[in-house]
Amino acid sequence: MSAPAHPDSTDLDRLHSAVKREKEDLAPETQPAPLWAMFLLMLVAIIAGGQLGPMTGGWSFNVSNPFATAGGGDPRPGGAGAGDALDPFALAMKKGSSGYAVCGGCHQGNGGGLPGQFPPLANSEFVLGGTERLIRIVQHGLTGPVTVNGQGFNTPGGMQPFGGAMSSQDLANVLTFVRNSWGNEASMITKEMVQKVRDEEKRASQWTAAELEPFADKNVPGDIPAGPGATAATAAPAPAAK
Ligand code: HEC
């Protein structure tokens, strides 16, 4: 906009818009509607609205849903029970991936570990092998020399036990997650399996890798829910068809 020709014209503009903003005065005999009348109307609307629903056959998402699909479904993504729709394996992976934060500080987010300090979980025979040894390691801890993927580790203090700090369910989720991340693929570990080891093996000190050698290929017995978590290579052999 170009500058005003005369300085006064800006003042005039401002005055005019101020006048235009003013509401018109009410005629002397009229009054604004009193506040109590507003509230009364609101109350009537709420009560009437509440009556209207039940009296017209009820309102429900499936009946009144303008986006209804042929089946009269719930249009929200995944429907009302989206969480329930995850199969047990997917659910364990989802929860295990957040639970893994506990391990990731040492074994790293990519499961690669840190050379000379923390052994890798990716492609580790301790992770992919027998479930009994793996559960015992996280349940009670591990100390002393251990060789993973051809690299030797002997970190002072070893790895602390997690059995006291994590529930059987949390451990099962995390172990299912580490067995199926970063290229790992192995059967899921259930809460019942962790609980079984927990009940059978009361132990105060950490394991050594040598002590656990006899369990290298041993799987804790237990049912694995049907689905992707059961189809992995190391899953217990399916019972022979009858
Ligand atoms: C404070 C660091 C630390 C944390 C946290 C930690 N670990 Fe370890 N972990 C180690 C160390 C150190 C070793 C090697 C112990 C040894 O030298 O005997 C190890 C060894 C292992 C092993 C056996 C070797 C291998 O790499 O396969 C497994 C399996 C394992 N950890 C899984 C886990 C899981 C699962 C968690 C989370 C619940 C976890 N660790 C949390 C430090 C840690």
* Domain assignment of residue 200, yes or no: yes
User: Distance between CA atoms of 182 and 132, rounded to whole angstroms?
Assistant: 21
Does the Cβ of 102 fall within 6 Å of ligand 1? yes
Domain count, the chain: 1
| 31 in a structural domain | no
The reply to whether 78 falls in a domain is no
Asked if the structure places residue 195 within a domain, the reply is yes
In a domain? residue 40:
no
Among 63, 84, 59, 85, which residue's Cα sits nearest to residue 73?
63
pLDDT (tens digit per residue) in 208-228: 999 999 999 999 998 888 777
The pLDDT score that the predictor gives to residue 238 is: 41
For 111, the token pair is 């499961």
**What tokens does 37 get?**
């009348």
Pocket perturbation via mutation, ligand 1, pick of 97, 103, 154 by most ligand atoms within 8 A of CB: 103
The mean pLDDT of the chain is: 84
Percentage of the chain lying above the pLDDT 90 cut: 58
Please give the number of the atom of ligand 1 that sits closest to the Cα of 155.
17
* 161 within domain boundaries: yes
Q: Is the CB of 164 under 6 A from ligand 1?
A: no
143 strand-pairing partners: 208
What pLDDT is attached to residue 29?
79
Is residue 201 in a domain? yes
Cα(107) to ligand 1 centroid in Å equals 7
> Which letter does DSSP use for residue 22 in this model?
S
Tell which residue, 125, 161, 131, 129, has the closest CA to residue 143.
Answer: 161
Distance 119 CA to ligand 1 centre (A): 7
Lowest mean pLDDT among 83-92, 154-163, 178-187: 83-92
Q: Which domain holds residue 135?
A: 86-216+223-231
Q: Would you place residue 154 in the very low, low, confident or very high pLDDT band (cuts 50, 70, 90)?
A: very high
- 95, 102, 106, 124: which to mutate for ligand 1, most atoms within 8 A of CB? 106
Distance between CA atoms of 120 and 146, rounded to whole angstroms?
11
> What are the tens digits of pLDDT across the range 34-75?
899 999 999 999 999 888 777 776 666 666 666 655 555 555
Residue 181 sits in a domain whose CATH number is: 1.10.760.10
pLDDT at 202 over 50: yes
Residue 30 has pLDDT above 90, yes or no: no
43 part of a folded domain: no
| pTM of the predicted model as reported, rounded to 2 decimal places | 0.69
Residue 124 alpha carbon, nearest atom of ligand 1:
27
Picking from 89, 203, 196, 80, the residue whose alpha carbon sits closest to that of residue 132 is 196
